[in-house]
């Protein structure tokens, strides 16, 4: 398996990437501060509260210099320990590890500003910090996840969530919905469109000429010839057959309890799982710190860490920056139109 990673020979100094801090009480601020302790070949813009950033840096005992964002200024590569901040103020003081309902609107505002900047070509890509869905919804803002929120911002009905690390890529047909509603989303049209988006994005962002897509069944044993559910017979297999006739390189449906065996994963460019917890526990087990999240089907590049807010680690200095670093390296490679190559 392959995954794009930063190549030091890339010429990236005319690129600008925006990062949202996520839930301010979580580790998003910690990770950004740790990320900029070394130089990067792009200009990084953090959409965050500058006071919260400086306060967290002091709590971590790490140096940081903030430069305020000016949209019309030429792109500048900043030295280590410096970053450009696009200021959005929190409603109340941020306390590490303590959620505050009144700061939920701040999280939404950072996402909207960063998203619109990408749409208008102000930024070349977006990297999102981890958010806390519970506190956002509790504050009265309906929010099921970054994937759905960003799709709504750009008026797109269908995007695809994919997690990737050096060993594996797993995409999802459905994302953040209750198990009881999954079968309502596994329709012929929805699955067909998911695979079309996945194939197209693997070609564009990964430079695969004819990606090999391995597809999970929905039911145990992929339905066992219809004895444990008929979605495979009535929906999944017809979609696979139709797209195979159009030249798609598809395999399956295969039972989710065997599709992750090496004999399949060694050949698969991506595995398509039917729902969130059918595939994601596998990839997080195989490489939690090195796994990143990418949204396919948006009109801009969006990546993210593959973990949560880790409230108990906020401000302690113990949060590990591996996933954010991987997301940035991955993003830089896509921006530079590099194909996948051996993971270093």
CA distances to 16, 329, 333 from 10, rounded to whole Å, are 14, 11, 8
CA atoms within 13 A on the CB side of 238: 11
How far the first Cα of the chain sits from its last, in Å, is 12
Mean pLDDT of all residues belonging to the chain: 91
- Listing DSSP states for 36-86 in one string gives TTS--SSEEEEEE-HHHHHHHHHHHT---EEEE--TTSPP-PPPTTEEEEE
Q: In CATH terms, is domain 159-297 a member of 3.40.718.10?
A: yes
The string of pLDDT tens digits covering residues 121-179 is 999 999 999 999 999 999 999 998 898 899 999 999 899 999 988 889 999 999 988 99
The reply to whether domains 1-156+298-338 and 159-297 share a CATH topology is yes
Q: At what angle do helices 322-335 and 28-35 cross, to 10 degrees?
A: 60
Q: Where are the domains of the chain?
A: 1-156+298-338, 159-297
- At residue 211, φ and ψ (nearest 5 deg) are -60, 140
**Tens digit of pLDDT for each residue in 98-112?**
999 999 999 999 999
* Range ranked top by mean pLDDT from 143-157, 260-274, 281-295: 260-274
CATH superfamily of 1-156+298-338: Isopropylmalate Dehydrogenase (3.40.718.10)
């Amino acid at each position: 398996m392959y995954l794009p990673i930063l190549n030091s020979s890339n010429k990236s100094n005319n690129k600008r990437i925006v990062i949202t801090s996520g839930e301010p009480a979580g580790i998003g601020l910690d990770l950004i501060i740790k990320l900029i302790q070394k130089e990067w070949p792009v200009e990084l813009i953090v959409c965050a509260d500058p006071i919260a950033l400086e306060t967290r840096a002091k709590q971590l005992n790490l140096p940081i210099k903030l430069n305020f964002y000016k949209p019309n200024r030429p792109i500048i590569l900043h030295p280590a320990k410096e970053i450009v901040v696009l200021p959005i103020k929190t409603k109340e003081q941020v306390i590490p590890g303590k959620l505050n309902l009144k700061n939920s609107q701040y999280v939404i505002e950072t996402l909207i500003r960063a998203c619109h900047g990408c749409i208008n070509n102000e930024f070349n890509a977006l990297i999102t910090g981890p958010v806390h869905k519970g506190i956002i919804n509790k504050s009265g803002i309906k929010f099921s996840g970054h994937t759905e929120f960003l799709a709504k911002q750009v008026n797109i009905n269908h995007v695809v969530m994919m997690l990737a690390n050096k060993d594996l890529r797993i995409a999802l047909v459905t994302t953040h919905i209750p198990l009881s509603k999954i079968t309502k989303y596994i329709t012929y049209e929805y699955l067909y469109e998911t695979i079309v988006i996945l194939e197209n994005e693997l070609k564009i962002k990964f430079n695969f000429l004819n990606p090999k897509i391995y597809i999970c069944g929905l039911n145990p044993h992929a339905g066992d010839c219809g004895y444990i559910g008929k979605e495979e017979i009535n929906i999944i297999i017809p979609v696979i057959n139709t797209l195979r006739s159009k030249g798609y390189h598809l395999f399956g449906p295969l039972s989710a309890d065997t599709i992750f065996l090496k004999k399949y994963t060694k050949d698969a460019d991506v595995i398509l799982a039917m729902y969130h917890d059918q595939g994601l526990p596998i990839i997080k087990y195989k490489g939690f710190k090195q796994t990143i999240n990418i949204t396919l089907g948006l009109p801009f590049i969006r990546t993210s860490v593959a973990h949560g807010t880790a409230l108990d680690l906020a401000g302690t200095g113990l949060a590990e920056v591996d996933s954010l670093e991987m997301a940035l390296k991955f993003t830089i490679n896509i921006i530079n139109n590099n194909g996948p190559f051996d993971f270093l």
